[in-house]
Structure formats: C-alpha cells, structure tokens
A and B are shown apart, each in its own frame.
Chain A
Amino acid sequence: MSAPDAAPVVTIPEVSLVVLVGVTSSGKSTFARAHFAPTEVVSSDECRALVADDENDQTATPAAFDLLHTIVRHRLALGRLTVVDATNLRKEDRRHLVDLAREHHVLPVAVVFDVPRWLCEQRNEARPDRTVPAQAIRSQHSLLRQSAGRLEREGFRRVVALRGDREVSGATVVRERLWTDQRHRPGPFDVIGDVHGCSEELDALLAALGYELEEGGGARHPDGRTAVFLGDLVDRGPGVVPVLRRVMAMVTAGSALCVPGNHEAKLLRALRGRNVKISHGLQQSLDQLAAADGAFVAQVVAFIDGLVSHAVLDGGSLVVAHAGLPEAMHNRASGAVRSFCLYGDTTGETDELGFPVRYPWAEDYAGRAVVVYGHTPVPEPVWVNNTICIDTGCVFGGRLTALRYPERALVSVPAVATHYAPTPGSPASDLAASGPAAEATPPDDAGRHAIDLARVLGRHQLTTSLMGPVTIRDDQAAAALEVMSRFAVDPRWLPYLPPTMAPAPTSTREGYLEHPAEAFTAYAQAGVGTVVAEEKHMGSRAVVLVGRDADALRRRFGLGGPGTTVTRTGRPFFVDEALGLAFLDAFAAAVGAAGLWDELRTDWLLVDAEIVPWSFKALDLLRHEYAPVASAGRAFSAVATEALARVAARGVAGADDLAARVEGRRDRIERFAAAYATHCWPTDGLRGVQVAPFQLLAAEGEVLAYRSHTWHLDAADRLVAADPGLVRPTRRVVVDTGDAPSCEAGTAWWLELVAAGGEGAVVKPLDGIVGKGRSLVQPGLKVRGPEYLRLIYGPTYDDPAQLAALRRRSLGHKRSLALRELALGLEGLDRLVRGASLTLVHQCAFAVLALETEPVDPRL
C-alpha cells in the first residue's frame, strides 16, 4: 500500500457499492460524512433508529438490515453510488452486499478501517450515547483480522485498507468515470459491424464513409467523425493483420473507438498460450499473426486486453456493444455485463443443430438509448425497439455495413468474395442465398408486442421533451386500462391520441362567451406575433394512420392492412369495417395523388383530422340526446305560448312578461335545433362523408407536428385538390396579433363563418409549437360560435342571467391539461419516429387517455 507518510487516495468508480469494513468507533461514519453526500450513505445505525427510534436497540437489527438492503437495492437499480456504513465484519453480511452489487452490475469496493483496538475502545468509552461492551470490540477486532486478505476472493473488485488513524483522517476520495462511460463524446459516429479480417471491404467502407486512409494504417475523417468498431475484427477472413493495423492506428490516433467481440476474447487467450479449441476461423488469425513480427503481436495483445466491454456515447443516447445490451446493463460493470457484451443473452440451451438458443433481448428493449450491435449475421439490418444489428455477414459473402449516427443512415459495401463458408444451418448460412436485396419482415406476432402491464398501470411519470415529467395518477391509469383493453384498437395501431384543447379566455362582449379577439390578445400577450385562425369542423375527431400499401405498415408497425382510423379515445372510427377500409384506400390514394409519399420520403403517414358530418358518427347521440331536447322544447313552447297569450288576453297583470320569456325560450330552442341540423346530412357508404385533415402528425423519419401550420394547411390543400369529394378544405385567415386592423379582419372572418352555421375556429401560433417547459404556449385556442355553444351549454345559455353565470367558468385546469396532453402526444410521436419500442410509444398514448379522465368541466 502507500508509504506511511503520504496521504492515501481512495479511488472508487462513479457507480459502485462502497462497503466500509471496520470495528465500532474506528471512524467509518466520520469518514463517510467527510467524503460522501448524506444521501449516498446508508447507515445501519440510522436504519435501526428509523425502525425502532433507537439506534442502539439490538433487537431491531434484523429489521434495520432488511431496510438497509432495500435502500441499497433501489439505489443500485438507479445506478447511484452507495456507501454502506455498518461494521460489515461478518462474511455473510458482506456476501449479501456483494450479491446486490452483482445483481445490479455495480462494482463492489471495500474500504477497510485498520485502526488499533485500544483507540476504538478509548473512543467508545468516551461516547455518551453508546454502550458497546468492551468484549464486543474485542471480538469485532478478531473478525477484522480474519476478514483481511479474503475480501478480493469474496468478490470485491477493489479493496483499500486505511491503516491507522492518520490514514483514515488524511485520506482523500477520488471518483473516477467508468471506462464504459463515454457520454462526453457526442459524435457524430460511424458504427461499423463485424469485420472478421475483411480488410479490402473495410477500406472500401471507410472510403465510402468519407474517411481518408493514411499510409501506415490509420484513417481520419475530414469532418472529425469517429469510427466505432463493434468487435470481431479478427478470425475467418484473409486480412486480419491489416484490419488490426488499421483499427489500432485509428484508436491510437483518436479517430476510432473499439469494443471487443467474442473472437477477440478467444484470440487473446490463444495468444497468451491458453488451451483453446481452434475453431470458427481462429486458425486464420493465428496463421496470419504468426507471419507478422513479434512486436506487433505484443501490441495486439495489449490492444485487445485494453478493450472495454461496451461504450455509452453522446450523453447516453447511443450504446454500442458487440452482442447488444439490455438497458439495466448500460454503463454498468460486472462479469455478467462483459459476458453479455461478448456473447449475448444465451439461455444455455442449444438448438437441434447445436447453435446456442438466443433470448431475444431486443424485443423487450424499452430504453431511451439507441443500441447498435453486431455478432449475429442478419440479411438486412432492421430496427427493433430502437436497437439495430448491423452485422451483415461480410466474411460469409454478405456486406460490411456501417450505421451513421445521428443520421441513422446505413452505408454498406458488398463482400468481394465469400471468405469463409458458414456452417450449414447457422444464422449466417442463408446470407448469400438471400442476398442483400432480401427484405427482413418483422413477424406479425402479437405475443412479442404484448406490453408489460407494469409499464402502464399505477402511478407513473413520463418524461417529455416539451414539459419534462408529466404525472399520471393510478386512478387515471386504471380507467384508461379498461378503455384500452376493451374498446381501443391494438396498441400497434394507436401511436397517438389527440390532446384536448382549451377555449380562448372568456369574452365579456355582450352576447358572447367566446370571441376571437380574446384569442388574439392572449397570443399577443404570450409574445406570439402571427397566428392562424382555422375553421373548426363540426364532425367527429379522427386520427388516421395510413400506409402506401399493406406491406409498408406491416414493416413499420408489425400489423398488416391499409391502416386504421380511430376516435379520440382510440376506438375504431368506422363501425362498418368494409367502409373503414374503403375510406383508407381512398385517403391513401389522395396522399399519393398529392405527391406526399415521395415528398416526405415515407410510406406511412399519421394524420389528425375531423370527419363530417357529425350525424355520420354521432347519430345515436343526436337522436337520444339532442333532438329530444328540441322536440320537448318545441312541444312545451307551443302550448305555453298559446296558453299565456290567452291569459294576457284576459288582461291578467304580469302575463306579458312571462309570455315574453316563454317566447324567448321558444326562439332559442329553434336556434338550438338549427345548430345541430347544420351538421347533419344523409350519407350513403362514403358518399356524403368528408375528411378534413388539419395536421399531418408524423411520417417516417420526422415528427411533422413540429412544422408550421402554413405547411400543414398547404398539405391539406393539396389533399383537397387530389380528391375534392373526399377531402374537405379548411378555411383560414392569418392574423398579426399586434396589428388592430388585422385582428379586426380576423374577427370579421370568424363572424361570417359562424353566421353561416360554422362551429367556430381554432387560433394557433402560425409557427406551430412555441416555447418549452414553463413557457410553453397553448398550441391552439378554440373560439366557438354563439350558436354552436347552444349544443354545449344548452339552448338557453345566452339568456343574460345564464351567460353572466357561465362567464365565471374557470379555464386554468383545462389549459394545464391541454399542455400536458400536448407534451405527451408529441413525446409519443418523437418516440415513434426515432424507433422506440412499442411500450414506450404506447405509454404516451395511454397517458393521454388517462389524463382525459381528469374531472374537468366537459363543456370547455
């Protein structure tokens, strides 16, 4: 250890479990307080106090340790540095902690307090609050003696002994980054799959990626891009030595990173003279290295020995590992992590041909980071839940592939030859036969898509890019689960549910509850200069997921068919399936005729729309809830008017007033009936049915919802032009909120619209989403027309007394809900577009549905 006079430096990995080992009163707690945050330290004394109010109550020890282990487990699961302040002198106590560390792939570190017994006894006696018998300290000390020297064998990956009080009090603690932690490297990267000695193809790929190959082995990219090698550089192929020279030079020069593959691991053992079975192309490496000079072989040994299991890059957004890595192992260190990185998750079973049965970890992957890996040759790289395998079997005659990050573009070069014949029946055996053009189709297997209940049920917090964390309460999740399970379409068809929208601030203008001037003012105050007022169609909200062809959706969403149209609660929009299919076909044709597939370079599209007439979807509602009000109101008014006229004719005082009120009621009922009748017309099949797409939400590679409304409305116009019978135009006007004449023109436009029976308008910032976090601006404010509002607030809502009462409505809750749902909706689209797992996408749609159960006035 260190020289007696030098102050010792205790170096610990940033993510680790630090176990303090020492006799009572040897200075552990003081040391912990001096070097760690209070929350990083879990102390057995404090746990005893927490469960029994007395940190010396030995009868509480089992409970206290149960609590201590629980805290440690939760902290390690979250990847937090944790210090256990207990004597930890017994082997079985330490074993429990080492097991916890291993379970969470965290390095266990022991710090031993080797302090003379007399000092501990002296201190113990001086403590007023403590009554540890001298005998106890003696026996503890002998346990410490026994412990020394066996801690490494017990599994501690690092053991530091502090000898004597001077070292204990003088020590400094240094935290070091894990070797895997490369988060500070933002890229851009070119991740390259298994090379296996294909030096010619490697050089061709590097050239294709824009690297300048240097004499003497290295290569660098003029734009400073970094190559990332996924391991398995060696074996099987003809150019093992040039490949190693190239990669080692690049790594040394800093223009490449490399993680090890299983072939490197085995080669290293062979080069170190271990007895390994020469198979799977190891012979090629050994032969080629035998011809190279000894100094180079020594460099190779050092290079492989220095490779770190995996790398976490770009702030944690990219993880590279030879055979892939589940989220719980990202940036962790353990034997299991290393083994997973090298060999993948094998179940230990082998198939009938003797190949290991692999557990499909990627299908359960729900992490935020992109995971790029190789190891198992595939005919075509396919994104699965934000993970991708880019080993395209070059050495077997396939291709050598790179993934450009963050662009997510694949670049590959074909093999110049089949360098190594695959074993019949192995995953690589059908590479040459299927060829690079073969499409890999994810299986339509619902089982693999079933979402874990625990990911949606109960209280949850989802982190959104717009607003940070959004909380879903457990009762909200419970209600959403029922609707999702019983009525909604399959989650694969339901990447998005539309957020609710708040009305404009309540107007005080005579006769109006809502008026566009309030929306213009609200946006002006929020600093939004240009807004667009869009006609609000009165029909039924629909989210349309449409594909260029059935295969497109099968490839992307794992379910065949032309797509789906759902209501705002995720139910199938069309009760008649055949009609729904006809609608999707017609809509897909319009998207094609409008040229949007090609322009957006996508073969699927998610669209937010309104389908009219109202009576098409809501006929039951009209017949059971709206028309009866008009029917009863008319029958009542007719009789009441006539009776009161006769009363008045008899000269009874006060009858005129009452008659006038009844007459006013009669008029309002007629207006109510007219208000719904405007939105009802007969349909026959699709004849009479129209869709008004007002926003294109997402397509392959882009969340379109962030684009400006100028673009969205232009796209809508093109769809109208493509099929004017099916697609309904959305009228609008652009308003400068700082310019009074412009606002007046906007108001005049709205008045004309609602006078003609229109529902009203939605006023939106022209640029789309404005602000973020606390400064996030409402994405739209609805301004409903006075006649339409009768359908919401009742026929007589505009009676002056009623209107005055309604103006006291409170909008705060609705506005907050609208923003939270917006953030969740867009987060879901972000996740969808970046290829996140179905679980992660579904969580957002589920959360929007859950939030819709908030007790907000449904009339807002």
Chain B
Amino acid sequence: MLLSISTTHRPATDLGHLLHKHPDRLSAFDLGFGTAHVAYPEASGERCTAVLLVELAPEAAGRRGAGPTSGVGRTGFALAGSVNDRAYTASSLLAVAIGRVLGSALRGASNDRPELAATPIPLEIDLPVVSVRGGPALAARLFEPLGVEVRAEAIPLDPAFPDWGDSRFFHLQLRATTTLRQLLAQLYVLLPVLDDDKHYWVERSEIDKLLRRGEGWLATHPDRELITRRYLRHQPRLTREALDRLVVADGDLVDADAADEAGAAEEAAIERPLSLNEQRLAAVVAAVEEAGARTVADVGCGEGRLIQRLLRLPAVERVTGIDVSMRALRCASERLHLDTMAPRQRARVELAQGSSVYRDDRLRGVDAITAIEVIEHLDPHRIDTFTSCLLGHPGARTVIVTTPNVEYNARFAGMAPGALRHRDHRFEWTRAEFAAWAASAASEHGYRVAHRGIGPDDPELGPPTQMAVFAR
C-alpha cells in the first residue's frame, strides 16, 4: 500500500522537517506486520513529495486470527487468507503505519519547524488504491466538510474483461490548505472508515485513539455518527462455524449466516410498517392456545421469538425449539436466557438441532407443531418431504404453518415487481397455491385444515401472511 504527501509550500523541502524524514534518504521501519519505507520522488524548493510505502509480510496478508483456516473473509471465501488485496489497498493497516512511522507529524511535533507544524500549508495526498464502500459520494461526504477537496477515480476490475465493470477501488486525491497534523489525523481516522473492514478487533483503547485523533474536527463533523460507528466496528464476529469451510473455490460463494442476517433485515424492513412479525406471532400463539396444546414443537425456531411467547402460556408445559442452524440455536439460547433461567422454567424448554426435511422421532407425541415462515425456505422439490416430516410422521393433533402471501407484495412500498421478501426464499405462494398444498397435505395425512390471514386483509390481494391450521 502506498501514500504520497506533497506540498508546494516554499521551501517545499521543509516537508522533511515536518515528517522527521530526510528527503535524500530511504528509511525503513519494521512494523511487525511488514516494513514501511519512506522516500522522496521529488524534493525541490517548489514542490516536495514523500511516499510512504508498506510491504506486508506474507503471513500478515491474511491474518484474521490464528492458523491458515481462519482466514475466512466476509464473503466466506476460504482462500481469503492468501488471495486478498490487503497488500495493495490503503486500509487501517496504512493508518497504523502512519501512526508508527509519522507519529511525530501526527502529534504536530517538529523540533526544527515548530511554527510551521502549526501553520496551514497547501497539501496534497495521493492514495492510488483505496477501497471505498460507499463510493466517491461517501469520500466527498467525509472530507468536504473538513475543507478538503476530493477527487476520486474509479479503477476497472480487469481490462481483459470490460463487462465485469469497475472494482470497488478508487484512486483518491485529497487537496487542502491545512496543517499537516490535521490532515494526517483525519486520514488516520477516515481510512478505516472508508474501507469499513478493519483488520483487527477493536478494543477500548481504540475509543481513546479516536477521540485523540478526532480532536478539533470530529465533534462538529456532520457524519460523526457514521464515522464513529464504522471506526468502532466493535461487534465481535460470532465464531465462524465449521460451515464456512464448506465454501470452496468452485463458486459456491454464499455465506449462509451473512445471507440470513441481511435477508432477515431486508424482510423486516419491507414488512416493518405492519410490524407483521408481531402480528404473526400473536396469531400463532392464539391458534396454539385454542388448540389446547400442552406440548409444542417449533420447527425452524430461529432466534426463539415464538418460544418466548409460548412460554408465557400457563397451559403450555413444554416447548421444543428446533432449528437446522446451530448459530440460530445459540442466539435463541441467549435470547431466552437459558443459562440463568429458573430450574422449573428451564425444564419447560428444550432447544435442539433438527431439520424439517428429516424424519424426527422427537416430534412424535407433541400436541402441536408450528412451522412459522419455514416452508418458503425450501426448494420446491423438497416440499413433499417437509409435509411428510411435519404432518405424516409426528402425528400431532395440531400443525400450524405460515408463509408469505406473494400477492400482497404489490402493496409493499419499495419492492420490485417479482421480487421476494427474503433473499433465501425459494418461492412465495399465492393464496390459491398455499390452499392447494394445504388441502392435499391434509387429505393425505388425515387432517382438517382451516386458513387464517395475518395482517390487514386487502380486499383484492388478501392478507400479507397466510396461516394454515391443521387439526385432527
């Protein structure tokens, strides 16, 4: 990665005094994760340019934890430890190098030119490769309020494949008349903010650093919240599951967890005006109560929102939450505070990994089975198996299934025609399609089925969520 700093202040070579690096020497600094070099491609009275070039040590390139297998990137790419752009792009690693190599300049200290260090001078910063998640608009939003002029030029992905489009990288040029200290401090904070992918876990000391480097400009910045949030990306990632290792270089590039989170957020955003999820849970709880179920299994329990509500019903003696994702079960366990629950209450809940497309003897003997917004996550050719696993094998008195009504999607603002509510939905059914499935499932397995809508019932398109209650 590379950063160049130029000035046209006269004499321009004073830049050497401000940076504490002699213009006629090539100096090298060991950073632990690599080596930083400072050199001057030009050093005349009119214009002086210093470059800070960082060579990453090979093993640091993919360091995200210990061992070669933990180098799994945000997309779940298994080879991210070796194949990545960290050696070339200006990122938080460059900010660290600025702090270590240009520490005095960053503090505004200069033995030889103390008054110059406090004087605004014309400065130019050139960053040949910066990853900007948010594009040039974000760069402008971040720098322009600080009086820094920004030029951002997109970099194509690969000239050999023009149809692949541009990369997420930009050639970024910044120009301002300000103190070197101020501009370096702003770079120090904003480089990781632009990239939004810090290479190390953020600790408490990072907050102090942010406050120190942000002194005098961050508090009044219109985007200070965004800056703070991105700089302190302090949600420690949940331990990556063994699942990630299944993502191999043959193109199965899907991070199941990330897709879930993003999908759930999208779905919630689409359905938010109705707080549909609340209504759905209330409707299911009412149906369970009406059925007089004392034992309930929630298949596809996710984070356990329904379980939480079912436990409030005094008549319910036991709830089994089943999900295929171990991660979802851990979230459910946390949400329900299973570890601190009182023993009598704790005995009413069980969480277990399971699947709606495998026969599960643990479902036999429960009074009611719920599968809330589950069926649409299955590929259509597996629906018959799902039906048999939920309605055939267990033999519960009551089975409750909910799924989106695709017709209603037209009523959601901001949904493209033909789009589905969640990126993992394999399909969404019309009312007629759902009714046809329910009728055939009921007759095959000896149930009566009743349909109920959840959410506002549109006279033309029906309710946003449809529910089938199977009973026998």
Considering only CB atoms, which chain A residue lies closest to B361 in the complex? A454
What is the bound-complex CA distance between A658 and B26, given in angstroms?
10
Complex contact B58–A802 (CB within 8 A): yes
Would you call A797 an interface residue if the criterion is a C-beta within 8 Å of the partner chain's C-beta atoms? yes
Residues of B within 8 A of A858 (CB): 68-69, 78-79, 245, 248
From B89, B128, B382, A638 is in contact (CB under 8 Å) with B128
Q: Is A92 an interface residue (CB 8 A)?
A: no
Of A476, A567, A627, the residue contacting B251 (CB under 8 A) is: A567
Known: A446-B382, A567-B252, A632-B88. A483 touches B243 (CB 8 A): yes
Does A647 contact B26, Cβ atoms closer than 8 Å?
yes
Docked Cα-Cα span, A673 to B73, in Å, equals: 20
- A485 near B324 with CB under 8 A, answer yes
Known: A447-B392, A569-B248. A620 touches B253 (CB 8 A): yes
Does A801 lie at the interface of the complex (its beta carbon under 8 Å from any beta carbon of B)?
Answer: yes
Residues of A within 8 Å of B357, CB to CB, are: 450, 485
Q: Would you give the 0/1 interface string for B239-265, flagging 1 where the beta carbon is closer than 8 Å to chain A?
A: 001110110111111101000000000
Tell me the bound Cα distance from A630 to B43 in angstroms.
Answer: 31
B79 contacts A859, CB within 8 Å?
Answer: yes
Interface readout for B73-104 with A: 1 if CB under 8 Å, 0 if not?
A: 10101111111110111000000000000000
B51 is an interface residue with CB less than 8 A from chain A: yes
- Cβ contacts under 8 Å, A797 to chain B: 58, 82
Residues of B within 8 A of A650 (CB): 24, 40-43
- Residue A774 lies at the interface, judged by CB distance under 8 Å to chain B: no
B377 in the interface (beta carbon within 8 A)? yes
Q: Which residue of A lies closest to B358 (CB)?
A: A453
Report chain B residues within 8 Å CB of A65.
none
Verify A479–B243 contact, CB threshold 8 A: yes
Q: Which residues of A contact B167 (CB under 8 A)?
A: 627-628, 631-632
Which of B62, B324, B358, B360 has the most chain A CB within a 10 Å cutoff?
Answer: B358
> Residue B385 at the A interface, CB < 8 A?
yes
Contacts of B155 in A (CB 8 A): 631-632, 635
**Which chain B positions have C-beta within 8 A of A572?**
379
Stretch of A346-354, A683-691, A788-796 with 4 or more beta carbons under 8 angstroms from chain B: A788-796
A483 to B254, CA, bound (A): 11
Within 8 A of A (CB), among B1-51: 1-2, 4, 24-26, 37, 39-43, 49, 51
The verdict on B61 contacting chain A, using a C-beta distance below 8 Å, is yes
How far does the alpha carbon of A485 sit from the alpha carbon of B254 in the complex, in Å?
A: 15
Contacts of A483 in B (CB 8 A): 243, 246
**A652 touching B251 by the CB < 8 A rule?**
no
Query: Which of A624, A662, A801 has the most chain B CB atoms inside 10 A of its CB?
Result: A624
Given the complex, which residues of B lie within 8 Å of A794, measured CB to CB? 58, 61-62, 82-84
CB distance from A275 to the nearest CB of B (A): 39
| Closest-CB distance, B136 to chain A (whole angstroms) | 16
Separation of A257 and B308 alpha carbons in the complex (Å): 63
Size range of the chain B interface in the assembly: 35 or more
B53 cross-chain contacts in A, Cβ below 8 A: 640, 643-644, 658, 662
B203 smallest CB distance to A (angstroms): 27
| Most B CB within 10 A of own CB, among A637, A647, A854 | A647
Indicate if the CB atoms of B85 and A445 lie closer than 8 Å. Answer: no
Q: Which residues of A contact B126 (CB under 8 A)?
A: 639
Minimum distance in angstroms from A625 CB to a CB of chain B: 5
Across the interface, A859 reaches (CB within 8 A) one of B37, B58, B68, namely B68
Residue of B whose beta carbon sits closest to that of A542: B250
A654 at the interface (CB under 8 A from B): yes
Asked if B356 is at the interface of the complex by the 8 Å CB criterion, the answer is yes
Determine whether the beta carbon of A639 is less than 8 Å from that of B128. yes
Q: B169 at interface (Cβ–Cβ under 8 A)? A: yes
The answer to whether A633 touches B385 (Cβ under 8 A) is: no
Complex alpha-carbon distance, A761 and B80, angstroms: 24
Within 8 A of B (CB), among A285-313: none
Residues in chain A near residue B246, CB distance under 8 A: 479, 483, 569, 849, 852-853
B285-331 residues with Cβ-Cβ distance < 8 A to A are: 324-326
The answer to whether B156 has its CB under 8 Å from any CB of chain A is: yes
- Are A447's CB and B358's CB within 8 A? no
Q: Which of B158-166, B204-212, B274-282 contacts A (4 or more CB under 8 A)?
A: B158-166
- Residues of A near B129 (CB, < 8 A) are 632, 635-636
| A456 within 8 Å of B (CB atoms) | yes
Q: How far is the CB of B43 from chain A (nearest CB, A)?
A: 7
Determine the distance from Cα of A582 to Cα of B73 in the docked complex, in whole angstroms. 35
Contacts of B230 in A (CB 8 A): none
User: Are the CB atoms of A450 and B385 closer together than 8 Å?
Assistant: yes
The answer, yes or no, to whether B266 is at the interface (CB within 8 Å) is no
> Is A125 interfacial (CB-CB < 8 Å)?
no
Whether B83 and A654, one on each chain, are in contact in the complex, defined by CB atoms closer than 8 angstroms, is: no
- Scoring B residues 56 to 76 as 1 if CB is less than 8 Å from chain A, else 0, what string do you get? 001101100001110001010
- Assess whether B242 is in contact with A476, with CB atoms less than 8 Å apart: yes
- A569-B252 in contact given A655-B26, A858-B78 (Cβ < 8 Å): yes
The distance in angstroms between the C-alpha atoms of A569 and B78, with both chains bound, is: 14
How many Å from the CB of A282 to the closest CB on chain B? 37
**Does B403 count as interface, using CB distance less than 8 angstroms?**
no
- Bitwise interface map of A from 633 to 670 toward B, beta carbon under 8 Å scored 1, else 0: 10111111011101100101111001001100000000
Report if A407 contacts B (CB, 8 A): no
User: Is B158 a contact partner of A482 (Cβ separation < 8 A)?
Assistant: no
B126, closest chain A residue (CB) = A639
State in angstroms the CA–CA spacing of A642 and B39 once bound together.
Answer: 13
Residues of A within 8 A of B87 (CB): 633, 636, 796
Instruction: Provide the B366-403 mask, 1 if CB < 8 A to any CB of A, else 0.
Output: 00000000000101011011011100110000000000
Decide: B249 and A618 in contact? CB cutoff 8 A: yes
CB neighbours (8 Å) of B358 from chain A are 450-453, 456-457, 481, 485
A482 touches B85 (CB 8 A): no
* A779 CB to nearest chain B CB (Å): 19
CB-CB under 8 A from B451, the residues of chain A are: none
Is B359 a contact of A453 with CB atoms below 8 Å? yes
Residues of A within 8 Å of B128, CB to CB, are 635-636, 638-640
Cβ–Cβ contact B384 & A447, under 8 A: yes
Which of A482, A569, A855: most chain B Cβ within 10 A? A482
Does A617 count as interface, using CB distance less than 8 angstroms? yes
Please state if A652 and B24 are interface contacts (CB–CB under 8 Å). Answer: yes
Cβ-defined contact, B58 with A805, below 8 A: yes
Whether B253 and A624, one on each chain, are in contact in the complex, defined by CB atoms closer than 8 angstroms, is yes
Option from A490, A639, A855 in Cβ contact (under 8 Å) with B382: A490
A849 to B246, CA, bound (A): 8
B137 within 8 A of A: no
Residues in B whose Cβ lies below 8 Å from that of A791: 83, 249
A177 within 8 A of B: no
Check: A629 CB closer than 8 A to any chain B CB: yes
A673 touches B88 (CB 8 A): no
Given contacts A450-B359, A620-B253, A625-B75, contact A632 B89 (CB under 8 A): yes
B324 near A855: Cβ-Cβ < 8 Å: no
The answer to whether residues A635 and B354 also contact, given A447-B384, A643-B51 and a CB cut-off of 8 A, is: no
Taking a contact as CB atoms under 8 Å apart, the answer to whether A482 and B389 are in contact is: no
Chain B hits for A856, CB < 8 A: 69, 245
Give chain A residues whose Cβ lies under 8 Å from the Cβ of B250: 540-541, 567-568, 617-618
A680 within 8 A of partner (CB): yes
CB-based nearest A residue for B247: A569
Identify which of residues 206-249 in chain B touch chain A, using a CB-to-CB cut-off of 8 Å. Answer: 241-243, 245-246, 248-249
Task: Show the binding face of B for A, using Cβ within 8 Å.
Answer: 1-2, 4, 24-26, 37, 39-43, 49, 51, 53, 55, 58-59, 61-62, 67-69, 73, 75, 77-85, 87-89, 126, 128-129, 131, 155-158, 160-161, 164-165, 167-169, 171, 241-243, 245-246, 248-254, 256, 324-326, 353-361, 377, 379, 381-382, 384-385, 387-389, 392-393, 424, 444
A and B contact pairs by CB, cutoff 8 A, 12 listed: A454-B361, A478-B326, A481-B355, A482-B326, A623-B165, A625-B75, A633-B85, A635-B128, A635-B169, A652-B40, A677-B160, A854-B245
Known: A457-B353, A624-B75, A658-B26. 8 other contacts (CB 8 A): A446-B384, A447-B384, A454-B361, A486-B424, A623-B165, A632-B131, A652-B26, A794-B82
